[in-house]
Amino acid sequence: MIVFRNHPLTVNGEIISNEKVLTDGITAKNPNANYKIGRHVANGTGNPTQYISTSKNVEVIARYNKMTTGRIVVIETDGVNAIDISTKEGLDNHAVKGAIARNFALSSEEVLFERHIPAKNIVGIIDYSTETVDEETRNLVAKATELCGMPATVAKAQRNKDNTAYRNGLQVLLKKAIRNDVEFKYIAAIVKLYMHIYVA
């Protein structure tokens, strides 16, 4: 399973470079803490916990993005203990209680990691801008639509300047690209264009 995290450029005042993330992985703000999952989900940013939040859905990353530039870390969950609380079954399995926490986890399609995400699980890092998208990115997205067998759907939405349909088409394209195990450069291009279109 592939999940996404909008990763800050600094953590506790320390600049975290892409190279550091790719080499060291990602560590929770308070890896020695012992919070319950529900408390983290309900107020994770207010209480530094041992959990690291990610989402199955890149739209969630766009929804909470407040920057014109940033980076998204793409993470593979295989071989690491990922806590999937994106469904009611997952919430029940992990004894997450409280309406606020449960609703937030569901709407955010949340997947948690405890204490640390190893570097081997970092698929790649996408540096994006919501203000501009270069021609190379657009060309890679066009190629991805061909590889995934849906060029007409995305092209029609783009031609009609229907941003909602365009975003939806890119979402479907991203899921197909991940499922078809295409090269990371295509996934990165789709996400870059999606982040740009989301705020357009």
- CATH number of domain containing 32: 3.90.210.10
Q: Are residues 134 and 121 in the same domain?
A: no
Same domain, 24 and 117: yes
Q: Is 193 exposed, middle or buried (0-12, 13-18, 19+ CB in 10 A)?
A: buried
Residue where one domain finishes, among candidates 69, 95, 125: 125
Contact 108, 61 (CB under 8 A): no
Q: Do 102 and 33 reside in the same domain of the chain?
A: yes
pTM for the full model?
0.91
140 and 120 in a single domain? The answer is no
Please tell me whether residues 119 and 160 are part of one structural domain. Answer: no
Are both 64 and 86 inside the same structural domain?
Answer: yes
Number of compact structural domains in the chain: 2
117 in the same domain as 142: no
Q: CA-to-CA distance for 157 and 152, rounded, in angstroms?
A: 9
Q: How many separate helices (H) and strands (E) can be counted in the chain? A: 9, 10
Rounded-to-5 percentages of helix, strand, coil across the chain: 45, 20, 30
* CA angle, 175 then 180 then 183, to 5°: 95
Do 49 and 99 lie in one domain? The reply is yes
Question: Please, what sign has the CA dihedral across residues 63, 176, 116, 120?
Answer: negative
87 and 44 both lie in a single domain = yes
Q: What is the model's pLDDT at position 44?
A: 64
Interaxial angle between packed helices 163-179 and 151-159, expressed in degrees from 0 to 180 and rounded to the nearest 10: 160
Answer yes or no: are the C-beta atoms of 143 and 193 closer than 8 Å: no
| Boundary residue ending a domain (91, 125, 159) | 125
- Consecutive sets of 10 residues in the chain, 200 residues long: mean pLDDT of each? 86 82 92 92 81 94 82 94 95 92 94 96 93 92 91 69 84 94 96 88
Q: pLDDT value at position 67?
A: 74
Segments forming the whole domain that contains residue 142: 130-199
**Residue closest to 116 by CA, chosen among 197, 15, 21:** 21
Task: Pull the structure tokens for residue 11.
Answer: 């953590």
